[in-house]
A and B are shown apart, each in its own frame.
Chain A
Amino acid sequence: NAGVIQTPRHKVTGKGQEATLWCEPISGHSAVFWYRQTIVQGLEFLTYFRNQAPIDDSGMPKERFSAQMPNQSHSTLKIQSTQPQDSAVYLCASSLLSGNTLYFGEGSRLIVV
């Protein structure tokens, strides 16, 4: 069984450009989570879907960040007008049910120059 797949693994983008990150959850998992990992902040919660519906986006910066889950096989995190402070590793995880064990992808490292 394949794990959570995240693409791209690395992305370098210029300040002000848009970045889109993709996540393919484990087949059959109903919950998908996005987190952001930095040295300074650690692992920050961004947003969470259950059965493709957005459940909690309380961790998402109100401007420039958006997430979608158009079907059960993938989710996207889009950052508009990227800024240097957006540089981080973005982690996607899935689970059978919320509250259960999370299975993480290897992350997408975003560098904004």
Chain B
Amino acid sequence: AQSVTQPDARVTVSEGASLQLRCKYSYSGTPYLFWYVQYPRQGLQLLLKYYSGDPVVQGVNGFEAEFIKSNSSFHLRKASVHWSDSAVYFCAVSAQWNNNAPRFGAGTKLSVKP
């Protein structure tokens, strides 16, 4: 079965700084990869997803992620964070076949200092 590691439980950055949240997955086949965000007191929402093709995928609110197969990674990036980006970010992986549920990492709590 597939699994995800998000090595940073908490990340704090200043507003306007660049951001990278790390995600490494374990799966022997070709994965579907996702980043979800959970704002306080809300459900998880999709930020972006990778299915195939261009390894750099763009998401909402200026987020992007790059699939690096050789490194089994799918790190999330943003050039300049805003205080409203403070949230918990989850990386997820699923297999590219039908009977499979995504597995999530433990999440990274992002705090943006004004």
- Report which A residues bind B (CB closer than 8 A): 3-4, 33, 35, 41-45, 48, 50, 55-56, 58, 91, 93, 97-99, 101-102, 104-107
Contact = CB atoms under 8 A, between A and B. Distances in A.
Nearest to B96: A99
A99 B97 contact: yes
A107 B101 contact: no
Contacts, number: 64
B11 interface: no
B106 A102 contact: no
Contacts of B90: 42-43
A4 B104 contact: no
Contacts of A107: 43
B105 A42 contact: yes
A35 B102 CA distance: 10
Interface of B: 1, 32, 34, 36, 41-46, 49, 90, 94-107
A66 B77 CA distance: 39
B101 A43 contact: no
A106 B1 CA distance: 27
15 contacts: A41-B106, A43-B104, A45-B102, A48-B101, A98-B100, A99-B96, A99-B97, A99-B100, A101-B46, A101-B49, A102-B34, A102-B36, A104-B45, A106-B41, A106-B42
Contacts of A33: 101-102
A13 B101 CA distance: 29
B75 to A, nearest CB: 18
Contact of A99 (B41, B44, B94, B107): B94
